[in-house]
Structures are given as structure tokens and as C-alpha cells.
Amino acid sequence: MKPKPEPLDLFKVALFLDLDGTIAPIMPRPDDVEPEAARNGLLKALNDKLEGRLAVISGRSVSAVDRITEGAVTSVAGAHGLERRTASGQREDTEAHAALDTVVTEFRALNRVLEGLIVEDKGVSVAVHYRQEPDHKANIIALATRMAESHGLRLQPGHEVIELRTPGPNKGDAIRAFMCEAPFIGHMPVFVGDDLTDEVGFEAVNSLGGFGVRVGAGSSVARYGLKDVAAVTAWLEESLLCLT
């Protein structure tokens, strides 16, 4: 495990948080993650102290992030960067690849055979969750790989999920875009995430003079580490307390 970070100086940083596995628990089904008053209260308090320099950088759609956070954070990058809402509320979304409808149809047909398979249509990408079908993992990934190659889609692996996405911006690109805009510009970026898809985000903050915090075990370019969602929550609360 990488060393634990010191509490943040909230006057100096711009904070970027992944959602699932970072500030919310990973659940068997994406829809199982519900809004939580304590978590959203913490996000609102952080956003206030940071004067808006807080963004959620998630694999979920922006609308799904809003459902879980109850709109606590305005700045959101969804679908791993393919969707983005700025601090002013402006949307910058990538147009969905036309082949994604075919991908959804193909995997939903497979879902009728593999009932534990979850097909999540995000509009600009399709996430295929195989957590409940571990015996079929190799075949599912092979099918996703063939479809991505034949249709010109990007393949993105994650925690028990494989995602076929429209070519376009990733989480690192989204962080860089936010850092060029008010109120983030001129502050030190910090990104907290738990998955392979977050490594490009860690690379982005490293290149901009900030640092990453990896949640959980595993190799990472992040400088620091925290054990789990509870540890992230405690660290963020500690950072708030340091201001009082």
C-alpha cells in the first residue's frame, strides 16, 4: 500500500473524485448504489470550502452521477470523460458512435442466456458487467474485443466490467479541461480513484504538478494510497476539520 496522504490544504487544491469504489461502495448492480445523506453532505461541504473546485470524474453518465450525489457537485465528467458539465453548467459531450446500438442488442441477447450479465447502456458507451458470471468472463471479454475491433470502438477494462466506448476524451483529458477553466485554474490538482480507468487521471494530475491517491491495492502511478471508501471519507473529513 502506498503512503497515506496528509490532509488537504483546501485553499490550494482542485479536487477530483471518482465515484464508485472511491466515495461510494461498489455494488453488485450499478443501480444498487443509492443517494446517501452523509456522503452528499460531505460533498456539499467540500464544494463550499473549495469554492467550487470540486469535480466528480466517473465512468457513470452525468445523469447517473447526479442521481447518486443529488446534485451536490456541478462539475462532473461522465462516461470516463466522454460527457462533461463545466462549473458554469455548460455541457460538452461527445456524439455517440452509431455502432453502439448494435453492441447493446448483441449483449442483451447474450443476457437472455447469461442472466447474471448486466448490460449498461450509457449512450456514448456500453458497459458489460460480468461480476455475477465469472465462469464466462473470458468469453465475454473475447466477444467485446471482437465487436470493438470490427466497429472501431475503444475497449476499456475495469473492475469486473468491460466497456465499449465511443472514441474520444478520457478521464485524464477531462481533468486537464477542468484545470484550464475557472474556478480550477491556478490550483494544484488532486485526483482520487480506485480503478484501471483512473490511471490516466493520475497521469494527468502528476503532469500538472499535483498528485493522485489510489484507493485499494494494486500498482499505480498515484503517489499516495488509501485502503477503501471509508478511509477516503475519513481523509476528506479530516481535511475539512483542518480548516476549523
Which one-letter DSSP state was computed for residue 91? B
Look up residue 19 and give its DSSP letter.
-
Of 18, 20, 66, 195, catalytic? 18
Rounded to whole angstroms, the Cα distance separating 159 from 166 reads: 20
Residue 198 annotated in active site: no
Distance separating the N- and C-terminal Cα atoms of the chain: 30
Burial class (CB in 10 A: 0-12, 13-18, 19+), 127: buried
- Smallest CA-to-CA distance from 28 within 120, 103, 141, 143 is with 120
CB 50 within 8 A of CB 15: yes
Residue appearing with cell numbers 485554474: 185
Active site residues: 18
